[in-house]
Amino acid sequence: MTEPIVEIRGVSKRFTKRLDVAGKIAQKLGASVREETVHAVDNVSLNIQKGEVLGLVGESGCGKSTLGRVVAGIHAASDGQMFYKGKDVRGLRGADRRAATLAIQMIFQDPFASLNPRMRVEDIIGEAPRMHGIVSAAEAPDYVDDVMRKVGLDPSLKRRYAHQFSGGQRQRIGIARALAVKPKFLVCDEAIAALDVSIQSQIINLFMDLREELGLTYLFISHDLSVVEHIADRVAIMYLGRIVEMASAEEIFSDPRHPYTKALLAEAPRLDQRRRQFEPIVGEIPSPLDPPPGCTFHPRCPAATADCRKIVPNLKAGRAGRETACLLEHVKTV
Amino acid sequence: MTDATTDSAMTAAPLAKVETPFQRFRAEFFESKIATVALGIFLIIVLLAILAPWITPQNPYDLAQVTIMDGRLPPGSEAFDGYTMWLGSDGAGRDLYSAILYGLRISLTVGLASGVIALLFGMAVGLIAAYAGGRIEVLIMRIVDLQLSFPASLVALMMVAALGKGVDKIILALVIAQWAYYARTVRATALVERGKEYVEAAQCLGISQSRIVFRHILPNCMAPLIVVGTVQTASAISLEATLSFLGVGLPQTEPSIGVLIANGFEYMLSGRYWISVFPGAALLLTVVSINLVGDHLRDVLNPRLKK
Amino acid sequence: MTAVLEISGLKTHFFTHAGVVKAVDGVDFTVSKGEVMGLVGESGSGKSITGFSILGLIDQPGRIVEGSIKFNGSEIANVSEEELKKLRGNRISMIFQDPMMTLNPVLRVDTQMIEAIRAHENVSKQTAWERSRDALGLVGIPSPEERLQAYPHQLSGGMRQRVAIATAFLNKPDLIIADEPTTALDVTIQAQIIHEAQKLTKQTGTAMIWITHDLAVVAGLADRISVMYAGRIVEQGGIDDVIDRPLHPYTVGLLGSVPTANRRGQRLFQIEGMTPNMLALPEGCAFGPRCQARKAACNAQPPIEDVEGRRLRCFNPQRVAEVTS
């Protein structure tokens, strides 16, 4: 197996709400305040091959967006390491560090909040390439035009401001901004969730075209299973900060192994099912502030055993060689 | 990339020309007739104040031009030098119309100068607090809270008592009384903006922290700052008037509006109302017009009220 | 089948500074007892405004300019506030996308539910409390007595939406309008909510209008469907007819662009162009600029007609092979 372009090992990300001076005093006086820690991402390891699309699927609180931001370099991991082209990113300095930063870019969910309302489109797209010397100030206007055309925007609109564009166009501006620094790897964080249905397919097609044209690699984060099934090569399912199953797209959708994956697929509404009886799994998604002990899914799992409450299952190959984080799947086959 | 996709993105919103945020803001501002009139009145006041030396018959600060013989004359009387005192004269013989305009110069200068300096200082402090976080932020914000828990006039009084009289010292006192409002506003806005995705995008693109603060975050903090600025300027003007009224502001020889009102106070009961009332009316008009403008600015700049 | 709701020629326009937005421009449909009508469309389609219009919840600068809304035979469009208040929460209820809109954040759940009952019926607080508790139990909320004492912010999104549904069903209305109630919820929670809503409508025979942009949800839930575009209904009929054999190019496009309708890894079928600008609609068919089947006739407004067992607003319907396989 060739070296993966991005690899993360044992990455965790915790957000701790520290007590301020008043809180510390209150605590000393016996009040029941305590530091709250959200275990957004818990011991996740992934490797992503060049040119592949890895889908990351999960519901709210599962940590997929946080993981995406760790990969994109916006958050620093609390534990674990991240490797870009085999080198630990934390050890990089100077030009290497900058190259790694620019190589991994992110496309955000909200096409309104992700663009600076006070900047013209030509500056939104052109600022970073000019700053990093990718193009000179003289070359910049033509460069911006090229990038805009690549994402399907009319270059004559570049002097406008973000609020003058529709949601789909704004998302294209965001993609152009990322492409302008010649990245190798794109983290798409629910990049189409906020768009109208008829625009979503346009943007999905744009992603697929860019992948072919520019040889990009994607970490595609979404809660929408049908989109991930279409675009991804491999899929990782996340629940409360942990990866519970990882397999190729075909395997996951035709033969899900983890009870959560099965529930997710069973409950997603599908066009070809009419007047169906929805039979949902019970229970709420637990709060990441207070995850259940053992397997985080056990309170809602129809197949949970006594062990599931105590032992944290790791992600490893179980039955049929499929990687899951489920004790039942890890039962040794004869 | 197919032509179809390019076409699909070609037609943007129906605005044919580039509409800067400023043009949009300007159009929305002038929708309110009250605010437009208020702005007009304020600009006229400023204009009159600037042109004071040329449009007044008398320089009330030039003691050679002032004579006690002209004192306490009712509006419309004729002065010793032959011109008409349309608004009457005060106890020392100053033509009120001239005195008000000259006084406005001082009041406006002090108010605007202290407003601007307080804004710059408060903005810097607020940004530092938002960025440094941790103990520095806590320390700064507690000082701000402490400062804000005192009434501004009390702080100003204390400062003037410590610093003494004079225009520059008054400005300093007013700056000290006001900077905290700006600091708190900027810190809150900067924290909100910092959490927004376009800032995360800038971080992802490797843009330096200082550039993010000054080129990305700061321009988006200006809106609430401007609103606070207008209201605070009005407040500074009336604060200065208060100090002068109490006798601890500007000296008698360079009377600002507050001093004029103070001087005229003793004449109220003897029926010579004009000595206090006209300067008071001028002050009222100035402060109210600024407040109306600031009020409408707040509505226009508030994204939540946008339809 | 008795018609609970009959809308004909409904027009709700907004008179803004920038111009007149014809958010709803000539909508007809009927909902019968026990039926679920899916109202599907994207932003600017007018689906939510239609829902609000039924309950008279349109604020300035908008108003219902034309049309009739008949509820159980009586006209309710543009009737007085007094009349509408008697209907709201009582005979017609609404569930919103954001449960914080339905639930008052400063009142406890029991206060709000009891208020909803006693606004329309003269019963004791105790009776109202018991009915509220039972309603919460019906929507699958565990330990309803505890939940009754909670404030909305103490409940999760899914829980709040269940409370909203329970409140909507409290007075046993004849019609429930659900405006994107599951759009903001996760898949597993969405399934729960749809399950509860389905169960309750079957039990009580309540008619339901489910407004959404998600065709897959509508496919699983609705009996009939109306597809809206730029303020008008473009296709309307039985769920199987419309989803398996769509005729309007927009419906065809929507169904065709869903990833499951395309081969894995291939480019998706896409509808070109952007969502319509309601201030600058074209002269003829509103979908014209984006339509692959456009012809010269489409420069005129197509009327809605009966075509192949459904209502269709199109001069050039597209008969494609079975879209969903």
**A73 to B6: CB separation less than 8 angstroms, yes or no:** no
Q: B18: which chain A residues are within 8 Å (Cβ-Cβ)?
A: 159-161
Q: Is residue B3 part of a domain?
A: no
CA–CA distances in Å: residue C56 to residues B99, C9, C76: 61, 16, 8
A74 and B216 within 8 Å at the Cβ level: the answer is no
Supply the pLDDT for residue B12: 42
Question: Which one has a higher pLDDT value, B250 or A222?
Answer: A222
- Establish if A108 belongs to a structural domain: yes
pLDDT tops 60 at residue B307: no
Identify the helix (H) or strand (E) that includes residue B40.
helix B33-50
In a domain, A92, yes or no: yes
pLDDT (mean) for C271-277: 85
Cα–Cα dist C215/B53, whole Å? 75
pLDDT at B9 over 50: no
Which CA distances in Å does B219 have to A116, B16, B212, B223, B224? 10, 25, 10, 8, 11
pLDDT of residue B14: 42
- Who contacts B156 (Cβ-Cβ below 8 Å, separation ≥6)? B173, B174, B176, B177, B239, B242, B243
- Answer yes or no: do B13 and A118 touch at CB < 8 A: no
Q: Sorting pLDDT into bands at 50, 70 and 90, what band is B19?
A: low
Query: Residue A160 is nearest to which of B12, B197, B208, comparing CB atoms?
Result: B12
Provide the residue range defining the domain that includes B197.
42-305
Structure confidence at residue B304 (pLDDT): 53
Residue B11 domain-assigned (yes or no): no
ipTM of the complex: 0.87
Contact (CB, 8 A) for A289 and A36? yes
Mean pLDDT of all residues in B285-307 = 77
For the segment A104-129, the average pLDDT, to the nearest whole number, is 91
- Using the beta-carbon criterion (under 8 Å), do A285 and C188 form an inter-chain contact? yes
In a domain, A243, yes or no: yes
As a whole-number percent, the residues of chain B with pLDDT over 70 amount to 92
Per residue in B229-271, pLDDT (tens digit) is: 888 888 888 888 888 888 887 777 777 888 888 888 888 888 8
Q: What is the mean pLDDT of residues B18-46?
A: 82
Range among A176-190, A258-272, A309-323, C82-96 rated most confident: A176-190
pLDDT at B213: 87
Domain assignment present for A150: yes
Q: Residue B74 — pLDDT band, cuts 50, 70, 90?
A: confident
Subunit contact B18:A159, Cβ cutoff 8 A: yes
Q: Is residue B36 situated within a structural domain?
A: no
Whole-number mean pLDDT of chain C?
Answer: 88
- What's the gap in Å between the CA of C160 and the closest CA on chain A? 12
Residues 127-166 of C with CB under 8 A from B: none
Has residue A278 got a pLDDT over 70?
no
Euclidean distance between CA atoms B2 and C100, whole angstroms: 44
- Using a CB-CB cut-off of 8 Å, the residues of chain B touching A209 are 1
| CATH code, domain with B78 | 1.10.3720.10
More confident residue, A38 or B1: A38
pLDDT at C132: 92
Q: Among C249, C234, C247, which residue's Cα sits nearest to residue C303?
A: C234
The two structure tokens encoding residue B5: 């996709």
Element (H, E) at C157: helix C157-169
Measured between beta carbons, the chain B residues lying within 8 angstroms of A113 are 196-198
B307 and C16: CB-CB below 8 Å? yes
With CB atoms and an 8 Å threshold, state whether C274 touches B11.
Answer: yes
Look at phi and psi of residue A86 and say left if phi exceeds 0, alpha if psi is from -120 to 50, else beta: left
Determine the distance in angstroms separating the CA of C315 from the nearest CA of chain B, rounded to an integer. Answer: 23
Chains that touch B (3 or more CB pairs under 8 A): A, C
The pTM (predicted TM-score) of the whole model is 0.83
Nearest one of C6, C44, C40, C5 to C24, comparing CA atoms: C44
Residue A201 contacts residue C274 (beta carbons within 8 Å): no
Inter-chain touch C217–A199, beta carbons under 8 Å: no
Rounded to whole angstroms, how far apart are CA atoms B180 and B219? 20
Query: Residue B17 above 70 pLDDT?
Result: no
Residue B6 has pLDDT above 60, yes or no: no
How far apart CA A9 and CA A83 sit, in angstroms, is 8
Report how many domains make up chain B.
1
Facing residue for C274 by CB, picked from B4, B8, B307: B8
Interface check for B210 against chain A (CB to CB < 8 A): the answer is: no
pLDDT at A326 over 90: no
Residue type, A169: Q
Choose the closest CB to A152 out of B1, B138, B197: B1
Length of chain C: 325
The answer to the question of residue A313 being in a domain is no
Cross-chain Cβ contact B8/C16 below 8 Å: no
CB C141 within 8 A of CB C154: no
Q: How far is CA B174 from the centre of its chain?
A: 11
Measuring CA to CA, how many Å separate B48 from each of B88, B90, B107, C55? 18, 20, 13, 57
Does residue A226 surpass a pLDDT of 90? no
* C-alpha distances in Å from residue A107, one per residue of A97, A185, B8, B26: 21, 11, 21, 33
Instruction: Name the residue with higher pLDDT: A282 or B221.
Output: B221
Chain C residues with CB-CB distance to A280 below 8 A = 188, 191-192, 195
Q: Model confidence over B130-178: pLDDT tens digits?
A: 887 778 888 999 999 998 898 888 888 888 888 877 788 888 888 988 8
Q: Do residue B5 and residue A202 have CB atoms under 8 angstroms apart? A: yes
Q: Which residues of B touch C17 (CB under 8 A)?
A: 31
What is the rounded end-to-end Cα distance, in angstroms, of chain A? Answer: 28
Q: Is the pLDDT of residue A183 over 90?
A: yes
Q: What pLDDT does C1 receive?
A: 55
Whether C316 and C298 have beta carbons less than 8 Å apart is answered as yes
Establish if A326 belongs to a structural domain.
no
- Residue B179 domain-assigned (yes or no): yes
Which tokens belong to C128?
A: 């109202």
Q: Is residue A193 included in any domain, yes or no?
A: yes
Q: What is the CATH number of the domain that holds A72?
A: 3.40.50.300
**Is the pLDDT score of B8 beyond 70?**
no
**Whole-number Å distance between alpha carbons of C40 and C210:** 8
Residues ≥6 apart with Cβ < 8 Å to B294 = B227, B229, B230, B231, B234
Please tell me which of the candidates A226, A250, A276 has its beta carbon nearest to residue C259. A226
Give the residue carrying structure tokens 């006739």.
Answer: C297
Q: Are C223 and C239 in contact (CB under 8 A)?
A: yes
In a domain, B225, yes or no: yes
Distance from CA of A88 to the nearest CA of C (A): 32
pLDDT in tens, A186-206: 999 999 888 888 889 999 999
A131 phi/psi in degrees, rounded to 5? -60, -40
Q: For A227-246, what is each residue's pLDDT tens digit?
A: 999 999 999 999 988 999 99
Task: Provide the shortest C-alpha distance from residue B195 to chain A (in Å).
Answer: 10
- Please state the φ and ψ torsions of residue A197, each to the nearest 5 degrees: -55, -45
Residue B31 lies in a domain: no
C12 pLDDT above the threshold of 80: yes
Best mutation target among B197, B208, B215, B302 (most A Cβ atoms within 10 Å) is: B197
Of C187, C213, C324, the CB nearest to A271: C324
Q: Which chains touch A (3 or more CB pairs under 8 A)?
A: B, C
Ramachandran angles phi, psi of A213, nearest 5°: -65, -45
How large is the angle between the packed helices C109-118 and C157-169, nearest 10 degrees? 20
More confident residue, C186 or A122: A122
Six-digit token string for C188: 């597993």
- Domain range for A10 is 6-258
Tell me if B34 is assigned to some domain. no
How many domains does chain A contain in total?
1
Distance, in angstroms, between C200 CA and closest chain A CA?
Answer: 13
Which residues, in sequence order, are CB contacts of B126 under 8 Å at separation 6+? B182, B183, B184, B185, B186, B187, B190
Subunit contact A161:B20, Cβ cutoff 8 A:
yes
**Closest by CA position to C34, among listed C173, C164, C165:** C173
pLDDT of residue B84 exceeding 80, the answer is no
Q: What is the pLDDT of residue C321?
A: 58
User: Residue A157: which of B12, B200, B206 has the nearest Cβ?
Assistant: B12
Distance from CA of B272 to the nearest CA of A (A): 55
> Between the CA of residue A172 and those of A188, A203, B287, C270, what are the distances in Å?
12, 8, 48, 16
What's the confidence (pLDDT) of residue B23? 76
Q: What is the pLDDT of residue B303?
A: 59
Asked if residues B275 and B87 have their Cβ atoms less than 8 Å apart, the reply is no
Q: Are C187 and A275 inside 8 Å of each other by CB?
A: no
Q: How far is Cα A77 from Cα A87, in angstroms, rounded to an integer?
A: 16
pLDDT of residue B5: 37
HEC letters along B189-256: HHHHHHCCHHHHHHHHCCCCHHHHHHHHHHHHHHHHHHHHHHHHHHHHHHHHHHHHHCCCCCCCCCCC
Which residue, among A114, A116, A141, has the nearest Cα to A130 in the 3D structure? A141
Q: Count H helices, E strands: chain B?
A: 13, 2
**C223 touching chain A per CB within 8 A:** yes
Query: Are the CB atoms for A3 and A217 separated by under 8 Å?
Result: no
C194 and chain A in contact, CB less than 8 A:
yes
Q: Mean pLDDT, to the nearest integer, of B39-62?
A: 85
Q: Which of C255, C264, C256, C220 is nearest to C239 (CA)?
A: C220
Query: Mutation test of the interface with chain A: which of C270, C279, C287, C291, choosing the one with the most A Cβ atoms within 10 A?
Result: C270
Give the residue on A whose Cα is nearest the Cα of C36. Answer: A275
Domains of chain C: residue spans and CATH:
1-91+172-325 (3.40.50.300), 106-170 (no CATH)
In a domain, A294, yes or no: no
| Segment (H or E) for C21 | strand C19-32
d(CA B247, CA B245): 5
- DSSP state string for C112-128: HHHHHHHTTS---HHHH
pLDDT one-digit tens code per residue, A296-308: 888 888 888 888 8
- Under an 8 A CB cutoff, do A269 and C214 touch? yes
pLDDT above 90: percentage of residues in chain C: 39
**C188, C239, C267 ranked by CB distance to A264: nearest:** C188
Q: Are A40 and A13 in contact (CB under 8 A)?
A: yes
- Contact between B232 and B178 under an 8 Å Cβ cutoff? The reply is yes
pLDDT tens digits for range C137-184:
888 888 888 889 999 988 888 888 889 988 988 888 999 999 998 887
Does the pLDDT of residue C21 top 80, yes or no?
A: yes
By the CB < 8 Å criterion, does C273 face chain B?
A: yes
